[in-house]
């Protein structure tokens, strides 16, 4: 009997198969994201701890090689992190408090100048103040509930930060047992592949975190020096803010740079603000054309379009925290894909043809 001819051509069937695979992956990804959102108080500290472990792993390994006990080395590393992060936050907050009145005064002056220039009715500062008081009176209850909600969010964030710090300690202390634990949990015959994937993902995250930290440090130093030369107040705090913002690509640099320009405008005037804008733009050009290719090209390479889409997706899922976690997690995924391609993508298919053996 003659075999029946397929209804769809080969190309159409392959396309349908790929569509089914993509739909399945999208469904799994959606369910995974929903689960992460539901259990964010447990998942977020774990992810932050993994990033912290990837960043602090070299320091911990050096301490261990120097003869320090693993637990003591992990504790010293965590103490150093608390000191550095706490100092940076203190410097940023102190600088913003010192220059906050000047920023508000400059904004009021700009609003007054705009209202006098355009002369529109109802746009004076008195009208704006009275309207603001009226809105505050009407929606005072909503504002109070918002404050209570904000306090709960702050408490939850502090709890997650403390949990993440404790997890960093345990991850660093027991990092030598991670490979054995992973192999024991792997299905039969897949232990080598799973370990290789985990190591490649960890190397990608380590490379991203180390490269981003070095680039952030250089950016912060350059901008701080520029602000000191221009005699802008709060230069150290603004430099610390640049360092912290560098962990959110593009958006963090934009926000920290805009704040530096605003502070310069409030205290030093329009001309100095333009000079600060030039310094920020020059540093960003240096980062994009020199630092990024030199430092991160050997560890993680992601197209800027992929980075921007990843940041947008992270922001839609978890806000600022999602933007912070999106890029390193994508770097880990890229590392896993590269390992899979290395192991399975380069295998040559068996040659087809008549058998070399004769009957």
Least confident of 253-267, 287-301, 309-323: 287-301
Taking only the tens place, the pLDDT of each residue in 216-263 is 888 888 888 988 888 887 777 778 778 878 777 677 778 888 888 887
The better pLDDT of the pair 46, 2 is held by 46
Closest CA relative to residue 242, chosen from 226, 227, 255:
255
- Average per-residue pLDDT for the chain: 74
Tell me if 254 sits within 8 A of 306, measured CB to CB. no
Position 43 pLDDT exceeds 60: yes
Position 290 pLDDT exceeds 60: yes
Instruction: Give pLDDT, residue 113.
Output: 59
Highest mean pLDDT among 25-29, 81-85, 189-193: 25-29
Separation between Cα atoms, residue 125 and residue 111, nearest integer Å: 8
**Averaged pLDDT for residues 19-48:** 84
Position 114 pLDDT exceeds 60: no
Instruction: Give pLDDT, residue 135.
Output: 47
Position 287 pLDDT exceeds 80: no
Closest CA relative to residue 313, chosen from 330, 296, 297:
330
Taking only the tens place, the pLDDT of each residue in 184-206 is 777 777 777 887 888 888 888 88
Rounded to the nearest 5 degrees, what angle is found at the Cα of 328, between the Cα atoms of 324 and 330?
110
What are the backbone angles phi and psi of residue 4, rounded to the nearest 5°? Answer: -70, 145
Tell me if 272 sits within 8 A of 236, measured CB to CB. no
Position 133 pLDDT exceeds 60: no
Separation between Cα atoms, residue 104 and residue 210, nearest integer Å: 37
Instruction: Give pLDDT, residue 146.
Output: 47
Helices (H), the chain: 10-38, 40-65, 70-118, 125-138, 140-173, 178-185, 191-229, 235-245, 251-268, 270-286, 304-340
Q: How confident is the model at residue 143 (pLDDT cuts 50, 70, 90)?
A: very low
The better pLDDT of the pair 72, 125 is held by 72
Closest CA relative to residue 238, chosen from 286, 272, 246:
246
Taking only the tens place, the pLDDT of each residue in 96-113 is 676 666 656 655 665 565
The better pLDDT of the pair 125, 9 is held by 9
Position 83 pLDDT exceeds 80: yes
The better pLDDT of the pair 256, 295 is held by 256
179-216 exposure pattern, b = at least 16 Cβ within 10 A, e = fewer: eeeeeeeeeeeeeeeebebbebbbbbbbbbbbbbeebb
Instruction: Give pLDDT, residue 23.
Output: 92
Rounded to the nearest 5 degrees, what angle is found at the Cα of 219, between the Cα atoms of 292 and 284?
60
Tell me if 47 sits within 8 A of 168, measured CB to CB. no
Separation between Cα atoms, residue 275 and residue 270, nearest integer Å: 9
Instruction: Give pLDDT, residue 24.
Output: 92
Cα 198 vs. chain centroid, distance in angstroms?
Answer: 20
Tell me if 307 sits within 8 A of 177, measured CB to CB. no
């Amino acid at each position: 009997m003659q075999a029946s001819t397929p209804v769809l051509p080969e190309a159409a069937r392959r396309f349908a198969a790929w569509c089914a695979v993509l739909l399945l992956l999208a469904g799994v990804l959606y369910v995974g994201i929903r689960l992460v959102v539901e259990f964010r108080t447990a998942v977020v500290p774990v992810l932050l701890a993994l990033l912290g472990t990837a960043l602090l792993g070299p320091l911990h390994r050096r301490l261990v090689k120097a003869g320090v006990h693993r637990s003591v080395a992990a504790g010293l590393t965590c103490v150093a992190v608390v000191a550095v992060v706490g100092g940076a936050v203190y410097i940023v907050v102190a600088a913003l408090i010192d220059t906050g009145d000047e920023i508000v005064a400059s904004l009021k002056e700009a609003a007054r100048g705009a209202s006098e220039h355009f002369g529109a009715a109802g746009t004076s500062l008195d009208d704006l103040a009275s309207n603001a008081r009226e809105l505050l009176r009407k929606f005072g209850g909503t504002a109070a509930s918002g404050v209570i909600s904000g306090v709960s969010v702050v408490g939850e964030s502090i709890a997650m930060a403390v949990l993440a710090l404790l997890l960093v300690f345990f991850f660093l202390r027991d990092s030598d047992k991670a490979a054995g634990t992973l192999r024991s949990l792997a299905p039969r015959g897949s232990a080598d592949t799973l370990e290789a994937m985990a190591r490649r993902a960890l190397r990608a995250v380590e490379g991203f975190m180390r490269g981003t930290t070095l680039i952030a440090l250089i950016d912060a130093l350059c901008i701080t020096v520029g602000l000191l030369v221009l005699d802008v107040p709060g230069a150290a705090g603004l430099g610390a803010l640049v360092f912290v913002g560098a962990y959110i690509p593009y958006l963090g640099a934009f926000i920290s740079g805009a704040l530096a320009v605003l502070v310069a405008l409030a205290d030093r005037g329009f001309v100095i603000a333009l000079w600060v804008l030039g310094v920020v733009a020059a540093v960003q050009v240096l980062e994009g054309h020199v630092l990024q290719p030199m430092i991160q090209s050997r560890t993680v390479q992601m197209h800027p379009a992929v980075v921007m889409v990843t940041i947008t997706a992270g922001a839609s899922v978890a806000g600022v925290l999602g933007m912070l976690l999106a890029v390193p997690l994508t770097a880990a995924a890229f590392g896993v894909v590269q390992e899979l391609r290395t192991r399975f993508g380069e295998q040559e298919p068996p040659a087809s043809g008549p058998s070399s053996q004769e009957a």
